[in-house]
A and B are shown apart, each in its own frame.
Chain A
C-alpha cells in the first residue's frame, strides 16, 4: 500500500521568510512518481511538479525548489522569500501506475 505523510499540519511565516514543507512517502513500487499540488483559498488543485523515482536531481523553479531523497523517502518543497500569494494548502502525492495517493496537506499562511 502507498502512503504519504505530511507531518506539518499548518505553518505560519512572515513574508520574505523561507519555508520548507516536508513530505515522506512509503511505497513498494520500484517505479513511482511524486507530485506537489497547491490548493489556494479558491479551492482548485493546481499542479506544481512531478518527479519520477529515477530522477533524484533537485529542481528549482523561480522561488520554488524541491529536494528528492530516495534514501530517506522524502520529497520536500521549499519556498524562498515567501509571499502572501503563497498562502494555500499544499499536497504531496504519490502514484505507481494507477491512482494518486495524497498526503493530508500542509496549510501555509504567509502574513505581510
Chain B
C-alpha cells in the first residue's frame, strides 16, 4: 500500500527552538495538505499545495510558520520560534485532485509535537 510518510513521529522541544516536520507524499499525488489537530480546535487546515505551488496558507500563523515543497517528494512545515501553544499533532495528507472534482486524501501517521 502506498503511504504518506511523516517525520519525526514525535518531537519534544523547548520554547523558542526551531522545529521542522517533513512529509513524503504518495508518488503521483499532486496535492499536499498540512493539518493540525488539537483537542480544542480539532483538525484545522494550515496550508496546501497543488503541483508544488502553495494555494492557501491562510490557516497558518505567518509570523512563525512556513510551509514549502522543495520538490515533488518532499513537503516541509517549519515553526520558528516554537511556542507551547504549537503543541499538537501535525498531519500531512496527499491526494490526486483534478481541477473539477475531489478525491480521497491519504493521511500520514502524524507528527506529535510537544513544546515545553
Binding site for B on A (CB under 8 A): 32-33, 35, 37, 42-47, 50, 91, 95-105
Q: How far is the CA of A35 from the CA of B103 in the complex (A)?
A: 10
Interface check B2, CB cutoff 8 A:
no
Chain B residues near A46: list those with CB within 8 A: 107
**A33-B102, A50-B104 known; A99+B42 contact, CB < 8 A:** no
Q: Which residue of A lies closest to B56 (CB)?
A: A99
Given A97-B101, A98-B55; A105-B42 close (CB under 8 Å): yes
Interface residues of B (CB under 8 A from A): 33, 35, 42-43, 45, 48, 55-56, 89, 91, 93, 99-102, 104-110, 112
Cα-based distance from A46 to B110 in the complex (angstroms)? 12
What B residues does A45 contact at CB under 8 A? Answer: 91, 93, 107
A38 to B101, CA, bound (A): 23
Do residues B104 and A47 form an inter-chain contact, with CB atoms below 8 A?
yes
Give chain A nearest CB distance to B82 CB in angstroms. Answer: 21
CB pair B42 A98 closer than 8 Å = no
Instruction: With a 10 A CB-CB cut-off, give which of A35, A43, A91, A104 has the most chain B CB atoms.
Output: A43
**Which of A37, A43, A96, A105 contacts B89 (CB under 8 A)?**
A43
Q: Which residues of B contact A91 (CB under 8 A)?
A: 43
Contacting residues, chain B, for A37 (C-beta < 8 A): 107
Q: State in angstroms the CA–CA spacing of A51 and B91 once bound together.
A: 23
- Contact check, A43 vs B109: say whether CB atoms are below 8 A apart: yes
Considering the complex, give the chain B residue whose CB is closest to the CB of A47. B104
Distance in angstroms from A92 CB to nearest chain B CB is 11
Which residues of the other chain, A, contact B55 by a CB distance below 8 angstroms?
98
A98 touches B109 (CB 8 A): no
Q: Can you sample 20 A-B contacts with CB below 8 Å?
A: A32-B102, A33-B101, A33-B102, A35-B104, A42-B109, A43-B89, A43-B109, A44-B108, A44-B109, A45-B91, A45-B107, A47-B104, A47-B105, A47-B106, A96-B102, A97-B100, A97-B102, A98-B55, A100-B93, A103-B42
